[in-house]
A and B are shown apart, each in its own frame.
Chain A
Amino acid sequence: MRHTLTHAGRHLLDRRAFLQWGGTGLSGIALSALLHEQQLLASGPPIRPIIDPAQPYAPRQPNFAPKA
């Protein structure tokens, strides 16, 4: 039998899973909002400098204006 719904869609139509997801999903959103309010989350995505393998020592820009 060919499903027309995605896996996530089928999951949502399952009553038990829907109720579970409603609970944990909302708590997840609430937790991340709380962590954000208290500034406990990382301030942004990771910064990984791009290294040119032919010139690994080439000067690279800092994340913001440096003092040193």
Chain B
Amino acid sequence: MIFCSGALSHVDTFDYKPELIRLHDSPMPTPSGEKLITFQGEQGNLIKPLWDFKPRGESGTMTSDLLPHLGELADEMCFIHSMTAKSNTHGPAENQMSTGFTLDGFPSIGAWTTYALGSECRDLPAFVAIPDPRGVPQIGPRQWQSAFLPAVFQGTPFNADRPIPNLTRPATISADADRATRDFLALLNEDHLARHPGDTDLAARISAYELAAKMQISAAAVADLSDESAETLALYGANDVENSLKARFARNCILARRLVEKGVRFVQLFNGAYAMGEGVGNWDGHKKIVDQYAVHGPILDQPVAGLLRDLKNRGLLADTLVVFVTEFGRMPTFQKGANGRDHNPSGFTVWLAGAGVKRAFHHGATDEFGYKAVENVATIYDLHATILHLLGLDHTRLSFYNNGIERRLTDVHGHVIEPILA
């Protein structure tokens, strides 16, 4: 799951609206001519896409010049243009996209997945969250929390810049001393276990520590990209010396592929960070959207396109599902007196690619300006239901009993979006 933090504008990327171009710089018609008030206030005129749209691939899918590398892969993508979010505020909306609920305190979709399916990988975490080189989204670690699910199913955060903290042996302790200590610990543990036969909690705890010890070695190896070929680095743009943020995000994308290759069940890859300020390190372009997106576009574009191509070339896309999401969309208008777009949870685009979904497919639509979803309106519950379905899980039944309720990722909602299934 690729998460664009800050709310990526659909009208400037994947949702082509000729009417928006035709009526550029005029007020958006409202049913009874009332003022349009959104998250930050009153809206100004309709503003055409800030980057030109062109037909891409054999399907001729219209995508914008902001993300040309991703545009080239339009034939691989299955677009949902009618996505809607329950909140117009970053925190609750991020919560909803990652946990199904706008409130804090619910397990993330990656935690549900690993709770249900375990892992195919014996020496790496089952669920890895890869934060952007610039930092984490607004809700931070709640994006990958296990909440009331057992804590082992929470995401382990690390990226190519910053591997899992505290894994390496301090320089002052020799390898021999380290091994001797570990052996001695194992001896004490075995002795303790022998004196408490049948204590499964104790056995579980010992095995958890042993798993952690194995991860110390393999997690360091998986994050070491030195064995990647020059061609691979170039494919992702990881060798870009002009744009170091792009190169660093590209290394995270390579890490994502390596984790998938090793059998890690769920990888959440973040683009954009919250703490740098409104739109500075993320897609929250309220006031200076052209300047800000001109920076963010190249950081996202080639690396994610490289990931998709690499997964395809290695045959991994056949049984890997890629989901590209953001917390909500942006307005087709500029904010009154500002050069940027406000929050819009009423209609936006997400796309899927890979296992089990149609290629070059478009599901649902927004109105003629890209303001509200009007055709085959989809909810985040529906998206989650569909993702679980593709993983072989029934979203109406996969449950965890907590605080008197059989909890589900989709609460009491959601329908699998059948038309997008291949």
Name A's B-contacting residues (CB within 8 A).
42-49, 51, 53-60, 62-68
Q: Is the Cβ of A46 less than 8 Å from the Cβ of B406?
A: yes
| Nearest residue, chain B, Cβ from A62 | B392
Taking beta carbons and an 8 Å cutoff, which residues of B are in contact with A? 114-122, 126, 150, 152-153, 200-201, 203-204, 207-208, 211, 319-321, 354-356, 390-394, 396-401, 406, 421-422
Contact status of A67 and B355, CB under 8 A, knowing A46-B397, A54-B207: yes
Interface centre among A49, A51, A59, A67 (most CB of B within 10 A): A67
**B399 contact set on A, CB distance < 8 A:** 46-48
Listed A/B pairs (17) with beta-carbon separation below 8 Å: A43-B397, A44-B394, A44-B397, A46-B399, A47-B397, A49-B116, A55-B207, A58-B118, A60-B116, A63-B394, A66-B392, A67-B355, A68-B321, A68-B354, A68-B356, A68-B390, A68-B391
Whether B150 contacts A64 by the Cβ 8 Å rule is no
Residues on A with beta carbons closer than 8 Å to the beta carbon of B397: 42-47, 63
Selected from B203, B207, B211, B393, the residue in CB contact (under 8 A) with A63 is B393
Report yes or no: B394 in contact with A60, Cβ–Cβ below 8 A: no
Residue pair A59, B394 in contact (C-beta under 8 Å): no
The listed residue with most B CB atoms (<10 A of its CB), out of A45, A63, A64, is A63
Find B126's partner among A54, A57, A62, A64 (CB 8 Å cutoff): A57
A32 to chain B, nearest CB (A): 16
Cβ B120 vs Cβ A59 within 8 A: yes
User: Judging by beta carbons under 8 Å apart, are A53 and B120 in contact?
Assistant: no
Query: In the bound complex, how far is the Cα of B421 from the Cα of A68, in angstroms?
Result: 12
Question: Shortest beta-carbon distance, A36 to chain B, in Å?
Answer: 14
B321 and A67 contacting across the interface, CB-CB below 8 Å: yes
Q: Nearest A residue to B398 by beta-carbon distance?
A: A47
Docked Cα-Cα span, A54 to B210, in Å, equals 11
Give the docked Cα–Cα distance between A63 and B392 (Å): 6
The residue from B120, B201, B391 contacting A62, defined by CB atoms under 8 A apart: B391
Inter-chain contact B200/A62, CB cutoff 8 Å: no
Nearest Cβ distance between residue A42 and chain B, in whole angstroms?
5
- With both beta carbons as reference points, the residue of chain B lying nearest to A58 in the complex is identified as B118
State in angstroms the CA–CA spacing of A22 and B119 once bound together: 51
Q: Are A68 and B355 in contact (CB under 8 A)?
A: yes
Is there an interface contact between B392 and A65, defined as CB atoms closer than 8 Å? yes
Bound: A45/B399 CA distance, A: 9
Closest residue of B by beta carbon distance from A67: B356
